[in-house]
Chain A
Amino acid sequence: MTQHSVLGTQHSTWVGQPFPRIEDRALLTGLGQYVDDLTLPGITHAAYLRSPHAHARIVRIDTAAAEALPGVCAVMTGEYVARNANPQRMRIKAAGSPNVYALAHDKVRYVGHPVAAVAAVDRATAEDALDLIEVEYETLPPLVVAADAMAPGAPLVFDEIGTNVLWHDTFVYGGVDEAFARADQIVRERIDIQRYSSTPLETFGSMAQYDPSNGAYTIWGHTQMPGQELGGISRALRVSAGQVRFIVPRMGGAFGNKLRPLNLISLALLARKAGRPVKFIEDRREALALSQSADMQVDVEAAITNDGEILALRIRGIVNEGAGLDFALRHNVLMLANTVNCYRVPAVSYEGYSVVSNRPPIVANRGIGKPVMCLAIERTVDAIAHTTGLDRAEVRFRNFIQPDQFPYETPSGNLYDSGDYPALLRKALEIIDYDGALEKQREGRSQGRLLGIGIAAGVEPGISNAGHNALIGESKITGAGEAARIRMEMDGTVTVYTGGLEAGQGHATALAQVVADQLGLHPDQVRVPLTFDSGTHPYVMTSGNYSNKFHGEDVAAAIGAAQKIRDRLLNRASSQLDAAAVDIELRDGRAVVRGVPDRSVAIAELAASAYGSLAPDQAEIDEPGLEVVHVHTDPMAIRMDANRRVKIQLSFPSAAHVALVEVDPDTYETKVLRYVIVHDCGREINPMIVDGQIHGSVVHGIAAALLEEFVYDAEGQLLSGSFMDYLKPTSADVPMIEGDRLATLSPFTPLGTKSVGEGAAVVAPAAIASAVENALEPLGIRIGALPITPSRLWTLASEGGARYGHADN
């Protein structure tokens, strides 16, 4: 591993070690305690009646027969919800404010839209009751593709908004028109990307209980943003946030999918109506319908010189948001953030459309708009190579932001922290033996084999700055940060609580390593409860597990809290050792006077005195007890400027991917032969965990490129609603992931870390698309859409087509 720079004087024993995960033991022995493993006395089970139509008016609902079924405890419809809860707050400014409730009220807007909820003594009885609910619908024309929803005179998904174009805006940064005027050539690309999902193996779930004695709720449920969720839930339920105890158990994967505020609200209301606690676990069909990224279309125009230099980009993105407002506009904002990828492009314009339709509401799947933007830019770079006759790697080398240009400010205002993009690509090409691969490709082609080499490079922005909400007219939540509370127990071990959540990333292990370093402890002496509980865990609105913010915000919050504990310990040690606090260090479980190893005291002894020595003369040494809260606010997360430039993200890991594929000339099935990734996420807290994140993320990206697609018919019915039709990669489908790492440290995070986790899923689709196009070069086929399926490719090749795109666009 190459270290481009070294960390300052930070003493580190545990950070940087591949420390085995402390999470594992419970998970390996079946003691994971996921939400479906929890229960309560008197528990009931919920099932939702969901719309079979993509677009319809609800004329009448009759629940009498369901209510009479033995074992049914409550039946709830949208009408009850509208009477007893507030509608969802609109995040964005639109002409009118639609009243969106936790159950469909007047209309159903997608297949799967919940119309009624039942609580019963068991799940089977609840599902039996659904069959007894009669709903009369008046169907309306379904709007399935964005182009139809945008057409003049199209029926409205939300009548109150008055248009299906929820948002449309254009951002111009730098002299775009001037650059196009002086360009030698203009290269154009159109990219269509499907709806897909990382599909956590554990589906969304929740459990709710209402206490009529004090009007308070307890909700155990999935979220990735506990602070914002708590705000939204309490507001909808018309109670204070202090009357909702929100518990988020360890999650069996999340990937941005586990955000269902309306579901949590409806379940809380159902528990109240039933007078008993109620649990709801989505089945896989529900999870597939409700965990989709947006389908999008991106048009890129690149003004270039004959030497392949990119002078400017004009980009237009159309996002099909589906029938939801929860997460609307996020894809567009994050696409705007990543328009230049890893290239030195001085001028950019971005025109974005957010369109509502009768597909299900989208969620935040791993990368959120960044995979499609990376794909669009990387496809454009391949097209530039095609146009200029330059090698694809060479075009990238000519346009890369150079190592001496960091920190590098992009046209839209992101400040890239660190990187050495040429070194990443050089290393990846070296590992794959690029020249050798080209030679083998020539040989293979002479034998009729379709071998392809794919190249992609990417910046993988992480840590959202909520200040970017100003781009879409919302400014209630700004900045970036996280909260941590640390209690040193009376035995000298510590317990760390943060507003972050665990969904498989090993955050407990990483935090234990970080805090152990700060306090001179062993990681085994650091406890990190994996279940978030608003009763014990601190939180702010930006809290949670999203945008790969852990390494920056969560770690900084924990360090801040640990340093407060350290200062308190040093006060006590100073008194006991008769030395100035600055002369004392914490290591190996002891407070030691620097350079005088025999003048020391056990940290456990100091902790015990903090809890026990309360006599006035003792208590004045330091405030008794040893518990602190620290809220970290990221100094880089400044607000938008007058030219609408804003740091949309704050962390910029990067990677180069090279893939070797072979396309079967008879079946057009693509097989990935080798996959190399060389990445740079700065300093790694735990390299073993980093490797695991990279592997999983790459495979998500490969699968998005070749396998996974939520297919909708013209009526808005999901045709790939099971794992028989929605194809996940199996162990037999993917190769070992090869590669290496470089580390250019971020100057903006306490430990020099950068994000990791979603990054490889951002770049991998581009690498695969590049590889397949390269394999198909003898047939002259260009790739303009994902996923690249054998049947579509076969059809295209049989017809002698030249562009793999979506027919309806």
Chain B
Amino acid sequence: MSADVDWGVDVKRSVTMTVNGTQHTADVEPRLNLVDFLRIDLGLTGTHIGCEHGVCGACTVLLEGEPIRSCLFFAIQADGTTITTIEALAVDDQLHPIQEAFHENHGLQCGFCTPGMVLAALAFLEDNPSPSEREIRVALAGNLCMCTGYVNIVKSVQAAAAALAGKAGT
């Protein structure tokens, strides 16, 4: 092998996406993962990398409102889309009801899975506002947590569902 191998990676492509309400345009390598774009290029380090092979869910973000694994997504695939990361959830220093529920129910320990878990729960509760315990467990099975044994995560999502229902009712 020699040093002048053509890796084909220096051909950059322009991408534009709206992240947390702000439009960003950048030239990126085609092989750049969306999670690396968010973390390194945009400095949004709230999205975490846990496995880089699409199993753990730590890198979950919302693309057009749907949860995706940003480690299995190239930045160029997200061209022209709207993305929400954990940084957008608390508004004016007020935690989102799901974040509040995780805090009150001790639904997090080391916090590394938390951003992905909260976003997965947000998308799930929009689809299913009053889920059973089993439905919560199945819905969150794509997000691994190594600390909590899931007990308090399930309780947090139950509490969040109740809080959101109460809010919708007012």
Q: Which residues of A contact B (CB under 8 A)?
A: 20-21, 23-34, 36-37, 65-66, 68-70, 124, 128, 131-132, 134, 198-203, 250-253, 255, 281, 283-284, 503-506, 688-689, 691-692, 695-700, 722-724, 728, 730-734, 736-737
Contacts and interface: CB of A to CB of B under 8 A. Distances in A.
A66 B109 CA distance: 41
B50 A736 contact: no
Contacts of A23: 111
A32 B112 contact: yes
A692 B46 contact: no
B2 interface: yes
Contacts of A36: 39, 45, 48-49
A699 B46 contact: no
Contact of B108 (A27, A65, A124, A736): A27
Interface string B46-69: 111111110110100000000000
B110 A202 contact: yes
Interface of B: 1-3, 5, 7, 9, 29, 31-32, 39, 44-53, 55-56, 58, 85-87, 89-90, 95, 99, 102-104, 106, 108-115, 118, 133, 136-138, 140-154
Given A69-B3, A131-B1, A28 B147 contact: no
A736 B158 CA distance: 13
Q: Which 9 A-B pairs have the closest CB atoms?
A: A30-B46, A27-B111, A504-B110, A252-B112, A699-B149, A695-B149, A68-B3, A504-B109, A37-B45
A284 B53 contact: yes
Among B44, B47, B151, chain A packs the most CB atoms within 10 A around the CB of B151
A31 B114 CA distance: 11
Contacts of A20: 103-104, 106
Contacts of B147: 201, 253, 504, 692, 696
A722 B51 CA distance: 8
A722 B147 CA distance: 19
A34 B114 contact: no
Contact of B86 (A29, A68, A251, A723): A29
A731 B111 contact: no
Nearest to A202: B112
A430 B67 CA distance: 43
Contacts of B108: 24, 27-28
A699 B150 contact: yes
B110 A253 contact: yes
B84 to A, nearest CB: 12
16 contacts: A28-B99, A28-B102, A30-B87, A201-B110, A202-B110, A253-B109, A504-B111, A504-B147, A692-B109, A696-B109, A696-B148, A699-B149, A722-B51, A723-B55, A724-B55, A737-B151
Contacts of A692: 106, 109, 147-148, 151-152
Contacts of A25: 95, 103
Contacts of B9: 124, 128
A734 B150 contact: yes
Contact of B112 (A70, A253, A255): A253
* SS of B interface (majority): loop
A731 B136 contact: yes
Nearest to B7: A128
A722 B55 contact: yes
Nearest to B111: A27
Contacts of A732: 137-138, 141
Contacts of A69: 3
Given A284-B53, A696-B146, A30 B86 contact: yes
A21 B114 contact: no
A562 to B, nearest CB: 25
Contacts of A37: 39, 45
Nearest to B154: A731
Given A253-B112, A505-B109, A28 B118 contact: yes
Contacts of B106: 20-21, 688-689, 691-692
Contacts, number: 190
Contacts of B103: 20-21, 24-25, 28
B48 A34 contact: yes
B111 A65 contact: no
Contacts of A201: 48, 50, 56, 58, 110, 112-113, 144-147
B44 A30 contact: yes
Contact of A736 (B49, B99, B138, B151): B151
Contacts of A731: 136-138, 140-141, 143, 145, 150, 153-154
Contacts of A199: 146
A723 B56 contact: yes
B3 A24 contact: no
A689 B106 CA distance: 7
A734 B144 contact: no
Contacts of B29: 124
A691 B45 CA distance: 29
A547 to B, nearest CB: 18
B123 to A, nearest CB: 15
B58 A724 contact: no
Nearest to A32: B111
A723 B52 CA distance: 10
B31 A28 contact: no
Contacts of B151: 691-692, 695, 736-737
B156 to A, nearest CB: 10
A700 B99 CA distance: 25
B6 to A, nearest CB: 11
Contacts of B153: 731
Contacts of A733: 141
Contact of A27 (B31, B104, B114, B140): B114
B112 A34 contact: yes
A688 B55 CA distance: 29
Contacts of B148: 692, 695-696
A184 B76 CA distance: 74
Given A692-B148, A730-B150, 18 more contacts: A28-B90, A28-B102, A29-B86, A32-B48, A36-B48, A124-B31, A134-B1, A200-B146, A201-B50, A202-B48, A696-B148, A700-B146, A724-B55, A728-B146, A731-B140, A734-B149, A736-B151, A737-B149
